[in-house]
């Protein structure tokens, strides 16, 4: 997730509010930071769609009957009509953006399920360009299900979670998000998030964590 400052920076660049030096620095960051570039492309597309929609509205001729009707209306009515039209365009663009975000989350969910299914503990897996996964341990739940404690790192955010294999899918039982500094924090995923995860593990974990051989055997049998 990008910080608010980067969102404001993207908007300022799209609106032409940056100086030449600031624009050059921003372009360099786009080349080096995939997450920033991805969000820039999304907002750039929305900006272009809005400008295109307004351009089409301005260029389309107004029917004579409607033109006469508008001329007889009070200026206040014209303002409200324009505001309603602009609001509709914003809603359409927002729906498109949310659709994109949902698609991205769906992709991450599929990749996460695959990582839980196939990756042994302490092996890093790439979910997408921005997110990395590592399982910390696997264990048996008191109800007999197999569960995995894992961490997902996405830029400066870390999600510490536990998921259990219920029937044929992995279902998240508990999770906590926190800020981190680097990948090494994966294997020390304690601290504030431990206040939620650790008590859960003590409550539901049956016996010791599975060893490497036990994990590999279960992976080969789809955790059955």
Query: Model confidence at 183, in pLDDT bands (50, 70, 90)?
Result: very low
**Partners of 196 in the β-ladder:** none
Q: Please compute the mean of the pLDDT values over residues 140-153 and round it to a whole number.
A: 94
What is the C-alpha to C-alpha distance for residues 114 and 125, in angstroms, rounded to an integer? Answer: 10
Q: Which secondary structure element, helix H or strand E, spans residue 97, and what is its range?
A: helix 75-118
Residue 183 DSSP label:
G
Q: Please compute the mean of the pLDDT values over residues 108-116 and round it to a whole number.
A: 83
Q: In the prediction, which pLDDT does 39 show?
A: 78
Q: Please compute the mean of the pLDDT values over residues 201-219 and round it to a whole number.
A: 94
Over the chain, what is the mean pLDDT? 75
Q: Which ranges of the chain does DSSP label H, i.e. alpha helix?
A: 4-14, 20-32, 34-59, 64-72, 75-118, 194-204, 212-220
Q: Please compute the mean of the pLDDT values over residues 114-133 and round it to a whole number.
A: 90
The least confident of 112-126, 135-149, 185-199 is: 185-199
Domain boundaries, the chain: 4-111, 112-220
End-to-end CA distance of the chain: 35
Whether the CB-CB separation of 151 and 133 falls below 8 Å is answered with yes
User: β-pairing, 169-179 with 146-154?
Assistant: unpaired
Residue 223 has pLDDT above 80, yes or no: yes
What is the C-alpha to C-alpha distance for residues 189 and 177, in angstroms, rounded to an integer? Answer: 11
Residue 145 has pLDDT above 90, yes or no: yes
Q: Please compute the mean of the pLDDT values over residues 124-142 and round it to a whole number.
A: 90
Classify 121 as helix, strand or coil. coil
Q: What is the pTM of this model?
A: 0.51
pLDDT in tens, 60-87: 565 666 566 556 655 555 555 555 565 5
Residue 112 DSSP label:
H
Residue 187 DSSP label:
G
Count of residues in the chain: 224
């Amino acid at each position: 997730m990008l910080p608010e400052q980067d969102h404001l920076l993207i908007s300022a660049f799209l609106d032409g509010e940056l100086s030449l030096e600031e624009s050059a620095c921003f372009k360099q960051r786009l080349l080096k930071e995939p997450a920033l570039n991805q969000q820039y492309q999304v907002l750039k597309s929305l900006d272009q769609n809005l400008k295109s929609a307004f351009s089409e509205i301005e260029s389309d001729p107004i029917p004579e009957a409607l033109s006469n009707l508008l001329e007889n209306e009070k200026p206040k009515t014209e303002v409200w009509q324009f505001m309603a039209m602009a609001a509709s365009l914003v809603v359409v663009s927002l729906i498109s953006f949310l659709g994109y975000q949902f698609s991205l989350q769906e992709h991450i969910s599929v990749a996460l399920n695959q990582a839980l299914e196939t990756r042994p503990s302490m092996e890093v897996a790439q979910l997408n360009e921005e997110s990395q996964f590592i399982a910390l341990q696997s264990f048996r739940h008191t109800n007999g299900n197999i569960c995995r404690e894992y961490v997902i790192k996405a830029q400066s955010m870390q999600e510490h979670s536990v998921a259990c294999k219920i029937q044929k899918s992995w279902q998240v039982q508990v999770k906590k998000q926190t800020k981190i500094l680097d990948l090494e924090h994966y294997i020390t995923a304690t601290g504030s998030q431990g206040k939620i995860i650790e008590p859960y593990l003590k409550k539901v974990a049956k016996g010791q964590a599975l060893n490497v051989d036990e994990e590999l055997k279960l992976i080969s049998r789809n955790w059955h």
